[in-house]
Structure 1
Amino acid sequence: MGEVDTGTGQDRTTARSRTGGDQGQVAVEFVGMLPIITATLVLLWQCALLGYTYTLAGDAADRAAHEAAVADLRRESRGEACERAGKESLEGDWRKSARTECWVDSGLVKAEVALKVPVLFPGIVDFPFSVTGNAAAAKEN
């Protein structure tokens, strides 16, 4: 059987079962840690979303620079080609918040695309800052 507590003369397992023992301890500890676990997951998700937005901005800038570089060959306005290509490569709410600029500098067409970073899910709320992607392509004549 159980050990006898010399101070009271009672069996320890009997004393523990009368007071409730450790039942529910894991549940209480989990509930206490739940806010920390949740905050960590939210922070990791937000970091992933920030990185994805940087990737989208860089890809949109690459496409905008390329299309603006060959705009003369297609008899298209460089600004229109830049804006069109920059926004076509984006989806949904990122397209709405995109700001695209292209300019010619020393024989290169340079493009910059700025995107707002969403808070947790695209389309609900954005952070007040933008991330930018930059690219350049040789101007085609």
Structure 2
Amino acid sequence: MPASAPADGSAGRPGRGGDRGQVAIEFVGMLPLILLLVAAVWEGVLIGYAFSLAGNAADEAARAGAVHGAAECDAAAKEHIGSAWSVRVSCGPAGNLYKAEVSLRVPVLVPGLDTGLRIDGHGGAAKEQE
């Protein structure tokens, strides 16, 4: 190291400290993009969860409807879906099958805020006699 260079290694940098605070400024600039990315990933998780809920609820509803009828079909569909989700259930016989359709509205970030996107789940079970 030349004799005229400062001991702190700041040779060639203008002023005192040069790049001090640069990381903080870059973080503040990137923070909105990071938050937007996290929100987009979370919304994707909610959409996937809605597919899972709708499919499972339709299967449960079809099984209950095949054995006990339409009243049990509706109750079974709503049993595992929280009250924050907007749900619509339709059940009925179709030949030798009992079919159920469950439709959920996908929330925006948290259940209760609606996007307007609907996810449908379909289920069917063979009719049974008690």
Q: TM-score, normalised by structure 1?
A: 0.80
User: Which residue number corresponds to residue 41 of structure 1?
Assistant: 38
Structure 1, residues 51-74: CA drift from partner, whole Å, max 9, x if none?
A: 111111111101100000001xxx
Structure 1, residues 31-63: CA drift from partner, whole Å, max 9, x if none?
A: 111111111100000000111111111111011
Structure 1 segments (4+ residues) deviating >4 Å: 1-4
1:63–1:2 distance in 2 versus 1, CA, 3 Å:
farther
Higher-helix-fraction structure? 1
Is the CA contact 2:10–2:17 (under 8 Å) kept in the aligned structure 1? no
Counting matched residue pairs gives 127
Which blocks of at least 5 consecutive residues in structure 1 are unaligned?
5-9, 72-77
TM-align CA RMSD: 2.1
Report the Cα distance in structure 2 between the residues aligned to 1:3 and 1:38, rounded to whole angstroms: 48
Is the CA contact 1:2–1:13 (under 8 Å) kept in the aligned structure 2? no
Identity %: 45
Which blocks of at least 5 consecutive residues in structure 2 are unaligned?
none
Q: TM-score, normalised by structure 2?
A: 0.86
Question: Quick check: which has more Rg, 1 or 2?
Answer: 1
Deviation at 1:129, TM superposition (A): 2.4
1:87–1:13 distance in 2 versus 1, CA, 3 Å:
closer
Is the CA contact 1:58–1:133 (under 8 Å) kept in the aligned structure 2? yes
Is the CA contact 1:57–1:131 (under 8 Å) kept in the aligned structure 2? yes
Aligned-partner SS, 2:98: strand
